[in-house]
Amino acid sequence: MNKEEGLLREILEEHASNPCGQEELSDTSHSGEWKSRKTGNLCSVQIKVHNDQILRMVARVEGSALAKACASIMCSELEGKCIDSARTTMQVVEKWIEYGEAPENWPGELVVYQSLVQFPERVDCATLCWRSLKNALED
């Protein structure tokens, strides 16, 4: 394992064991969930938005450590952003996973996605939270 792979693994392990966005939210403005037909994993997303800005995001996962880590990373990266920015980030992740179209720069800890595409069997877990977010934003 090279140094970069080790760092990406550390990021995922940290988020899996200490996930962000686990508490219950009151007064949510958006919510959605996604259940994988392939794995049975479930992710539920709640978002509190004010003036188009994500004040708080919760993504609770029943499933794999990777799915939990990706949901935690998503929450930490999108809190404080505007809804349009969240949608843009979601599209970047979708394009990378679905079509191999890499962005010039991955923002923050979303850099883990550059390596996840190498493991097609893990894509379902890695995208669970983003599918839940997409459903939440379609409300």
Calpha distance 111→107 (Å, rounded): 7
Residue 22, pLDDT > 80, answer no
The larger pLDDT score, comparing residue 5 to residue 38, is at: 38
Strand order across the beta sheet in which 42-50 lies: 30-35, 42-50, 53-62
- pLDDT on residue 139: 58
Q: What is the pLDDT of residues 106-137, one digit of tens each?
A: 888 998 888 877 787 888 899 999 999 999 99
Q: How far apart are CA 27 and CA 10, in angstroms?
A: 34
pLDDT digits (tens, 9 = 90+) for 48-99: 999 999 999 999 999 999 999 999 999 999 999 999 999 999 999 988 888 8
pLDDT given at position 60: 94
pLDDT at 3: 64
The Cα 100–Cα 42 span in angstroms is: 25
Containing 14, the helix (H) or strand (E) segment is: helix 3-17
In order of their start, the domains of the chain are 3-137 (3.90.1010.10)
Burial class (CB in 10 A: 0-12, 13-18, 19+), 25: middle
More confident residue, 72 or 20: 72
Residue 102 binned pLDDT confidence (cut-offs 50, 70, 90): confident
Look at residue 83 in the predicted model and tell me its pLDDT.
Answer: 96
pLDDT of residue 2 exceeding 60, the answer is yes
Six token digits for residue 61? 């996962």
